[in-house]
Amino acid sequence: MKEIPSDTDYLSTREAADLLGVALRTVQLWVEAGTLRAWKTAGGHRRIERDSVQALLQQRSGVLAASTDLQINEVGKLVPLHILVVEDDENLRRLMELTMEGWEPPVTFEMAGNGFEGLIKLGRRRPDLLITDLNMPGMDGFRLIRHLREDPQYRDIQIVVMSALRPADIQDRGGLPPDIPVFGKPIQMAELHRLIQGRQFARNGSS
């Protein structure tokens, strides 16, 4: 787990985002939700309390598995990370497919157009990571996440949200668990890739 220098009482939004491995927007959302304690300078810049960032790091380290990202199966073959993307925009799904096909280490992935379709695919094969939109027809991302977090079988699945909603709009619709990073749209795939590379995953054991 990353350590914050003890002589640093306050962090900038960028410093907090780098330490937590999330987007700037996610840190801003957590500040507005009260998950991270912060204040604003006269110039309008956020200063986030060191202790609240350290507390969130400790909380997240307890959720993340202690295993490594890469697994080798019984015949010595690399088991790729399996990702399920739930997104109703067909063009964005295609863009993500084309981008993730070139990722190293390699990943496998499936696409779903809404929460219901995502649950069906998740039931057939449990992903190591779920990436979901929030605004979708049928079952939206809010309902999908609530359903998974209420189910003991799936509540530990790691989730990343991508959404065009403002932080205030997300809060108005019930908010999100504090451990879920939020990426704005248009999503920056390089930033998402860096986040995934920097995380550890409780692997599902499928090959």
pTM over 0.75: no
Q: What is the pLDDT of residue 31?
A: 79
Task: Give the chain's domains with CATH numbers.
Answer: 10-63 (1.10.1660.10), 71-197 (3.40.50.2300)
What would the 3-class secondary structure string for 8-63 be? CCEECHHHHHHHHCCCHHHHHHHHHHCCCCEEECCCCCEEEEHHHHHHHHHHHHHH
* Each residue's pLDDT tens digit, 149-193: 999 888 889 999 999 999 999 999 999 998 899 999 888 888 888
Cα 30 from Cα 57, distance rounded (Å):
13
CA distances, 31 to each of 24, 47, 86 (Å): 11, 10, 26
CB 185 within 8 A of CB 163: yes
Cα 79 from Cα 187, distance rounded (Å):
26
Q: What is the pLDDT of residue 117?
A: 93
Q: What is the pLDDT of residue 144?
A: 95
Strands 129-132 and 81-86: parallel
* Each residue's pLDDT tens digit, 110-139: 999 999 999 999 989 999 999 999 999 989
